[in-house]
């Protein structure tokens, strides 16, 4: 089972929007040295929505090749078209990913039965561990716990990233799901709370700029050390808030550039962080002890 701090990795880009392969390699090494437990490539934070199929596959393959098995690599392969999600998932398997992260279909708003059939079709089509991803705030589609529990019957559906921020809902799911089914947080502000309830990890935006701190908090929370986990998390809590002053990944990509981890490249329709928020994010980095 994949556990711990799983960074929702940005896709570094040059000022013209091209994927920066050199910076991607450097980012991976930065995270491995800091103790990040796993890397999630080309998810929402990795701007999967604006990468071409070829770029999507190339980034996954590069991450796998650079990681060289040192930590698990989870590839974002969700789509609002079932056949596209199957194709992306197969590509990720072919590239050597350890697991795939599949967001609920966005925009077309399927029913709960439609969600079940969508994920069932992907699970049956591609033999790779699959993690469901529920983030209704971005997709306008909310997968119920009941639907998730139906999907646990498929051996290769191994977990869910819950980005609802609703800890009571997560608690109910953890209590009801098979013990081998992992519930991960996709909401940094409530991640430690979810892991203390039995969650297995945090797919984290904040980890892009504070990998060591987020990893240590995850380790403590999974071990059940509430006092230590909450203390560690409190030190970076300001980042959980301020890295969302504009739509993710706008602030975190700017913060990474501020730290010298990448250039300012980002793809339309997203734009570089508005100047009015520069000091807000800089102050958050300083308060979290990332910069002086």
DSSP letters, the chain, are ---EEEEE----B-TTS-B-HHHHHHHHHHHHHHT--EEEESSTTTTGGGS-HHHHHHHHHHHHHHHTTSS-EEEE---SSHHHHHHHHHHHHHHT-SEEEEEPP-SS---HHHHHHHHHHHHHH--S-EEEEE-HHHHS----HHHHHHHTTSTTEEEEEE-S--HHHHHHHHHHS-TTSEEEE--HHHHHHHHHTT--EEEESGGGT-HHHHHHHHHHHHTT-HHHHHHHHHHHHHHHHHTTSSSTTHHHHHHHHHTTSS-S---TTS-PPPGGGHHHHHHHHHHTTS--
Looking at the annotation, which residues are catalytic? 133, 161
Q: 19 has which bridge partners?
A: 13
- C-alpha dihedral sign at 252, 136, 233, 33: negative
Report whether 266 belongs to an annotated binding site.
Answer: no
Residue 45 labeled ligand binder: yes
CB distance 56 to 78 below 8 Å? no
Q: Would you list which residues are annotated within the binding site for pyruvate?
A: 45, 203
Q: Would you list which residues are annotated within the binding site?
A: 45, 203
């Amino acid at each position: 089972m994949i556990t711990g701090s799983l960074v929702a990795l940005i896709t570094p880009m040059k000022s013209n929007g091209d994927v920066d392969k050199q910076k991607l390699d450097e980012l991976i090494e930065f995270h491995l040295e800091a103790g990040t437990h796993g890397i999630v490539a080309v998810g929402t934070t990795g701007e999967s929505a604006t990468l071409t199929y070829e770029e999507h596959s190339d980034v996954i393959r590069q991450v796998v090749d650079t990681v060289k098995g040192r930590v698990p690599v989870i590839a974002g392969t969700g789509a609002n078209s079932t056949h596209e999600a199957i194709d992306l998932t197969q590509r990720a398997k072919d590239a050597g990913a350890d697991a795939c992260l599949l967001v609920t279909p966005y925009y077309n708003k399927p029913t709960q039965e439609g969600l079940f059939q969508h994920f069932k079709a992907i699970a049956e089509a591609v033999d790779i561990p699959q993690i469901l991803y529920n983030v209704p705030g971005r997709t306008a589609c909310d997968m119920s716990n009941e639907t998730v529990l139906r999907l646990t019957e498929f051996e290769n559906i191994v977990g869910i990233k819950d980005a609802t921020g609703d800890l009571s809902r997560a608690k109910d799911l953890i209590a009801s799901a098979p013990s081998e089914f992992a519930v991960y947080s996709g909401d940094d502000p409530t991640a430690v709370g979810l892991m203390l309830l039995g969650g297995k990890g945090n797919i984290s935006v904040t980890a892009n700029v504070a990998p060591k701190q987020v990893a240590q908090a995850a380790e403590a929370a999974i071990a059940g050390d509430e006092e230590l986990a909450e203390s560690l998390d409190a030190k970076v809590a300001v980042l959980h808030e301020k890295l969302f002053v504009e739509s993710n990944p706008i602030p975190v990509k700017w913060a990474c550039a501020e730290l010298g981890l990448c250039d300012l490249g980002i793809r339309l329709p997203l734009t570089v962080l508005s100047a009015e928020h520069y000091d807000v994010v800089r102050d958050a980095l300083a308060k979290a002890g990332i910069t002086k």
